[in-house]
């Protein structure tokens, strides 16, 4: 009765039964994009999902994120697992024989106003080149991962066969499960400095 009264009041003679509108999912990958991901993965079985996403994005074949590519490859059983050695403390100071072999990673405090921000830096041990840095209000594991990801892209990590070894101190960010999973996903081994021996990170400490 209420519906009929409403229709009469506003001059609506009858209600039209229309077909339901299909739900639109924003940013959903096209079928062509998904097929491009699967096809590329099958032709490049040694590449991990981050390398696959980078190359597909560079080629203009898909705009999918790392996680989107990972989920689809995992569903199809196309994820390649890395079997890395257990990260351990070095017996001495790290040494490098060529550029981009061992990036050093660390965090320091920077006075800003009445408080502090955090400078996260990645420096190549061999050349002393600053591969990546960021001034952040936080110093979480994800903040460190973002800087490392940028540094790797800077020198063409996804286009090279040789993987670097990340060297860091024993900070909680570097020991976090998410950080270890991030490096494992890239096929990178993380080596730690000896406890209470800042000289192992001398190049980076000097930069700070």
How confident is the model over 3-35, as pLDDT tens digits?
555 555 555 555 556 666 655 555 677 888 888
Average pLDDT value for the chain: 79
| Signed CA dihedral, 95, 103, 165, 196: sign only | positive
29, 31, 32, 37: CA torsion to nearest 10: 70
Q: Is the pLDDT of residue 200 over 90?
A: no
103-207 — its CATH code? 3.30.420.10
**Partners of residue 1 on adjacent β-strands:** none
* Burial per residue of 13-37, b for 16 or more beta-carbon CB atoms within 10 angstroms, e otherwise: eeeeeeeeeeeeeeeebeeebbebb
Maximal C-alpha separation, the chain: 88
Contact 176, 141 (CB under 8 A): yes
pTM: 0.62
- Expressed in angstroms, the distance from the first to the final Cα of the chain is 77
Contact 133, 121 (CB under 8 A): yes
Residue 71 main-chain phi, psi, to 5 deg: -60, -40
Q: Is the pLDDT of residue 203 over 60?
A: yes
How confident is the model over 140-172, as pLDDT tens digits?
998 999 899 888 887 777 667 777 889 998 888
- How far is 162 from 87, CA to CA, in rounded Å? 18
pLDDT of residue 105: 93
Mean pLDDT value across residues 115-127: 90
Q: Which range, 12-16, 83-87, 103-107, is most confident?
A: 103-107
**Band (92; pLDDT cuts 50, 70, 90):** low
58 class by beta-carbon count within 10 Å (0-12 exposed, 13-18 middle, 19+ buried): exposed
Q: Is the pLDDT of residue 82 over 60?
A: no
Closest C-alpha to 169, from 206, 136, 200: 200
């Amino acid at each position: 009765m209420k519906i009929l009264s409403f229709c009469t009041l506003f001059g609506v003679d009858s209600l039209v039964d229309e077909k339901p509108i299909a739900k639109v999912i924003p940013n959903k990958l096209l079928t062509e994009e998904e097929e491009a991901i699967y096809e590329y993965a099958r032709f490049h079985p040694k590449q991990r999902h981050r390398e696959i996403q980078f190359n597909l994005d560079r080629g203009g074949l898909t705009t999918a994120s790392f996680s989107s590519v990972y989920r689809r490859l995992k569903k199809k059983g196309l994820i390649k697992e890395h079997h890395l050695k257990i990260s351990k403390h070095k017996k001495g100071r790290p040494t490098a024989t060529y550029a981009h072999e061992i990036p050093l990673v660390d965090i320091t405090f920077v006075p800003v106003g009445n408080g502090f921000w955090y400078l996260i830096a990645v420096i190549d041990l061999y050349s002393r080149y600053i591969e990546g840095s960021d001034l952040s209000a936080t110093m979480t594991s994800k903040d460190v991962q973002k800087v490392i990801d940028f540094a790797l892209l800077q020198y063409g990590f996804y286009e090279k066969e040789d993987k670097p070894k990340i060297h860091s101190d024993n900070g909680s960010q570097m020991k976090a499960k998410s950080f270890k999973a991030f490096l494992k996903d890239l096929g990178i081994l993380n080596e730690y400095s000896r406890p209470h021996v800042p000289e192992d990170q001398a190049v980076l400490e000097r930069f700070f």
